[in-house]
Copies of this chain bind each other. A is one copy, B any other.
Amino acid sequence: MKNTFGQNVSFTLFGESHGEEIGVVIDGLAPGIKVDTDHIRHELSRRRPSGRISTSRSEADEFRIVSGLFCGRTTGTPLCILIPNTNTKSCDYSKLAVTPRPGHADYSAECKYHGFQDYRGGGHFSGRLTAPLVAAGAIAKTALAEKGIYIGTHINVLAGKGDRCFDNENLKKDIDLLSRSSFPVLDEHCGEEMRAEAEKAALEGDSVGGILETVVIGTPAGVGEPWFDTVESVLSHALFSIPAVKGVEFGDGFALTDMRGSEANDAFTTDGRGVFTKTNHNGGINGGITNGMPILFRLAIKPTPSIFKEQDTVNLSEMKNTKLSIEGRHDPTIVHRAAPVVDAVTALVLCDLLAGRFGTDYLK
């Protein structure tokens, strides 16, 4: 399996940046899930470029659900979402076929596809393909919310500027805040600093990266497997396929390596009914299996590889060193736009894990 992910709930992604349509097929969703097209539209709007720190390419993202939907609800059979590409400028990219862009997939794709790949605008590797994922994730998020499971992602750091931490006493409130935001920070003042930094880089023809932090509340304990399909394994598998993600850590992640066991262990406690942990350094996962506490992870998003500064590359047809100046439309950062994608992918993966654990009808 390649462009398909998931065992009980699976999703298949297709399309290219400048192709006719991009889309996703979601299979295994419970029948009877309400499909709220306004909510899908809202989620897509969160991913869409806007403002000075985004590409000027603007896509209407007019999606069509052409199967798996009947009378406003999922049928339980494959649901296909299509998004046409309306605003394509193929000519901008013609030179890239022989001069691969540093930091992009151009060269490795050439090695894999021997020149037959659609190189225009990154082709199948384009971040544009995250749009159908976001649309699919919107349906998954609705289903999860019905079960009391909520997902939120904020920009932890952008270009070195940090956001405030999640309020562990009121995660639902923070998640609600993020769900309405097109630039998902918990402290709007921090957001302004981040954008200022990104704009500065943009003016210099450069780009910036950052860290996204995601929290999931409401997941029942006892989901995941001890080996190979740990919750960390399955989530990281899906998350690492989001373009520009180069690191994933759960709970305190790399910071755990500086702690002692007595600090890192999350002590159990009970109120007589439920079992909780006093801290959550392990991000809600012990031994690969959820323990009922919030799932917490952070993603490293590298700076957008498309920059306007001249770069060194190779002319592959002549096998000679050369210079490359990338034209076209580019984002100086995609960190904020990646947040709804992370939400979506997380939602789809959770639907898969829950369906595997509790059966097809669990999310009905």
Contact = CB atoms under 8 A, between A and B. Distances in A.
Interface string A101-136: 111111111111110111000011100010000000
Contact of A108 (B12, B273, B289): B289
Contacts of A211: 254, 257
B305 A264 contact: yes
Interface string A26-66: 01100110000000000000000000000000000000111
Given A19-B66, A21-B80, A111-B221, A362 B359 contact: yes
A72 to B, nearest CB: 10
A178 to B, nearest CB: 19
Interface centre among A210, A225, A321 (most CB of B within 10 A): A225
Contact of A222 (B12, B111, B265): B111
Given A277-B102, A303-B260, A70 B116 contact: yes
B321 A107 contact: no
B7 A1 contact: yes
Interface residues of A, number: 154
Interface string A243-270: 1011111111110111111111111111
Nearest to A272: B319
Given A111-B221, A261-B307, A116 B227 contact: no
Contacts of A233: 236-238, 240-241
B241 A288 contact: yes
Contacts of A364: 114
Contacts of A16: 67-68, 70, 75, 77
24 contacts: A2-B228, A13-B78, A22-B67, A67-B124, A73-B116, A76-B113, A102-B266, A103-B265, A104-B287, A105-B286, A107-B221, A108-B224, A112-B223, A207-B260, A209-B256, A209-B261, A210-B257, A234-B237, A236-B236, A243-B287, A246-B253, A246-B256, A261-B309, A357-B359
* A-B residue pairs, 4 tightest by C-beta: A105-B287, A111-B222, A247-B249, A359-B359
Given A4-B10, A21-B82, 6 more contacts: A2-B78, A208-B260, A209-B264, A232-B246, A356-B360, A358-B360
